[in-house]
Amino acid sequence: MIYFILAAFALGIILNYTYTRAKVVKDYANTYLIWFGLPLLIFLSLVRNKGYFADFGFFIVISSVFLLIINLVHFYIVRKVKISEKKKASLFLTTTYPNTAFLGIPILTFFFQETGALLAAIFTIITLIFHFSLGVYFSNMYLKRSRSALSEVIKFPLLWGTIIAMILSFFVQSAPEWIFQFSKSAIYLAP
């Protein structure tokens, strides 16, 4: 198992340095990660740990409140900075929601197995939902064209995959071990 994870991680690093056809492979890996990998990881982790994650809704509420407070405080701070409106919008987005490229999920999976991976995946999804809704809305407020970002949230595939995974986890009692191993190790391919 550890050799497969190391091989997948090494393949991801090699693909970052070879550019000829790596862009196509990276696009497929990112598409897999967003549409299938993270929702499958959440689904299988919830199926395996039904008793332990019975109250994962509390984690979602705490994460959402934490991110909402950070958004409001950071919006007020950036508003006071003396720079152009375009720079304020990009400063808000890049400092409130930094691009981590899902780097925390493979690390937490390696050290804390499915428990850490599930919590990291849920927190990442919550952060991305906030980014594509409040983040876009607040950054547009700096540009004086504030409009609702609800259509962006509705089109976001990770949101729908996660909702479906959570619903299915209530009905499925067990899953084959090979599916869980594939899901857990496939996230190392993400560039």
Domain residue ranges of the chain, discontinuous segments joined by +: 2-189
Beta carbons of 67 and 125 less than 8 angstroms apart? no
Using the predicted structure, report yes or no on whether residue 7 has a pLDDT greater than 80. no
Beta carbons of 45 and 116 less than 8 angstroms apart? no
Q: What is the DSSP letter of 100?
A: -
Instruction: List, for residues 10-62, the tens digit of each pLDDT value.
Output: 766 676 666 556 666 667 766 766 677 777 777 776 776 665 555 666 777 77
Q: What is the DSSP letter of 147?
A: -
Cα–Cα dist 183/129, whole Å: 22
Cα–Cα dist 71/60, whole Å: 16
Q: Read off the tokens for 59.
A: 């984690």
Contacts (Cβ under 8 Å, ≥6 apart) of 136: 93, 149, 152
Mean pLDDT of 63-90: 80
Mean pLDDT of 76-81: 82
Using the predicted structure, report yes or no on whether residue 122 has a pLDDT greater than 80. no
Using the predicted structure, report yes or no on whether residue 191 has a pLDDT greater than 50. no
Instruction: List, for residues 162-175, the tens digit of each pLDDT value.
Output: 777 777 777 777 77
Q: What percent of the chain has pLDDT over 90?
A: 0
Mean pLDDT of 134-162: 67
Mean pLDDT of 181-188: 61
Cα–Cα dist 165/179, whole Å: 14
Sign of CA dihedral 55, 74, 159, 27: negative
Does residue 128 come out as left (phi exceeding 0), alpha (psi in the -120 to 50 range) or beta? alpha
Using the predicted structure, report yes or no on whether residue 77 has a pLDDT greater than 70. yes
